[in-house]
Amino acid sequence: MSKQYIPWVNAENAHISDIYSLAVTDKQLLSVSGGSAIKVHSLTDTGFPLVQCIDDAHSNGCHHIVTDAAGSRAVSAGFDGSLKTWSCHDGHWVADEKVTADLKHASAWAIALSCDGQYLAGVTEQGRIKVWDLAADGNLIRDHDTKGSFGVTIDLSSDGRMIATGHQNGRIYVFSTETGRMPYSLQGLVEPVRAVAFSPGSKLLAAAGDSKVISLYNCSSGNRIAYLAGHTGWITSLSWSSTGEYLLSGSFDGKIKVWSMETKTCVATIPEIEKVVWSAKWLPKIGRAEGFVLGGANCSIDFYREASA
């Protein structure tokens, strides 16, 4: 059964350059780009207005931003290799100088933050997987070496027990945060993996990239349980809906797809964005409408919602 999603709100030219990363909390949307600012849009006000702009957050641009579940802490990663931490007070974000200083010598390309905001996981350009404890002066508590292939993407499961990384050489690694061991390296892909995402219940892992196919793995067995084929461009981004019923995927050719986990089929395609979408994220349920948000090379933030029946 197909679903229909329609344009909702469009924050045109929200950034001066490609929007590389979006982070969604219950109340806000944080976005970063090749420009130097972090922008904050309200998700609780009509029209999703811009409520804060942190200028000069990363003077060389920023490629990742992540938040904890409560929306009280954010970490951003700049193109110059710097990691910065931010904390939210009554909806207003300020630099967390202490934690940023603790992470001064930390380095990572892709990052993920645990739900409670205590642990920051990162994967480096050399493929090392690291975890820092932000409650303990940013101590490095895990440091795993992989095969040395560029670490493109990382995710932390919502129960905090697993880290998954996707690499340039097509490999996918899953680590247990408790034992510090790698239970398995998934039977990966040949081409670069650009997105990995754990389902909300931490039972499934979705992974995709230049192969244009989404692979679904069972996290406890490591077996691949399904392929989702249909994209014609490289897949750059994956996001699970809060219930785990739907998976959202964004692509280099600008096409967006929504996949039903029940039927393992594509139930909606958004064709009209012609430039690369770097980040696609489900929104928290606002009223009754289910929606998602996109950021990419058109420099705009595009909100979509499900058409009411």
Residues 212/232, Cβ–Cβ less than 8 Å: yes
Give the list of residues 6+ apart from residue 90 with CB closer than 8 angstroms, or none.
none
Nearest residue (CB) to another protein, 43 versus 238: 238
Contact residue for another protein among 252, 259, 292, 303 (CB under 8 A): 252
Sign of the dihedral defined by the CA atoms of residues 6, 11, 17, 22, in that order:
negative
Contact residue for another protein among 34, 117, 250, 295 (CB under 8 A): 34
Chain residues 222-241 in contact with another protein, contact rule CB under 8 A:
234
- Which DSSP state fits 60? T
- Least distance between another protein and beta carbon 303 (Å): 23
The CA–CA distances, whole Å, from 176 to 72, 132, 144, 192, 222 equal 25, 15, 11, 23, 13
Nearest residue (CB) to another protein, 117 versus 192: 192
Contact residue for another protein among 116, 191, 245, 306 (CB under 8 A): 191
Note whether 278 binds another protein by CB under 8 A: yes
How many residues sit in the footprint of another protein (CB under 8 A)? Answer: 26
Contact residue for another protein among 14, 24, 32, 35 (CB under 8 A): 35
Give the list of residues 6+ apart from residue 221 with CB closer than 8 angstroms, or none.
none
Contact residue for another protein among 68, 102, 210, 302 (CB under 8 A): 210
Contact residue for another protein among 51, 57, 61, 67 (CB under 8 A): 61
Note whether 126 binds another protein by CB under 8 A: yes
Nearest residue (CB) to another protein, 203 versus 275: 275
DSSP assignment of 240-307: E-TTSSEEEEEETTS-EEEEETTTTEEEEEE----S-EEEEEEPPPBTTB-EEEEEETT--EEEEEEP
Note whether 122 binds another protein by CB under 8 A: no
Note whether 63 binds another protein by CB under 8 A: yes
- Least distance between another protein and beta carbon 157 (Å): 24
The CA distance from 87 to 280, in Å, is: 23
Residue span binding another protein (CB under 8 A) among the ranges 60-68, 85-93, 181-189, 280-288? 60-68
- Least distance between another protein and beta carbon 130 (Å): 17
Binding residues for another protein (CB under 8 A): 16-18, 20, 34-36, 59-61, 63, 79-81, 125-126, 150, 152, 168, 191-192, 210, 234, 252, 276, 278
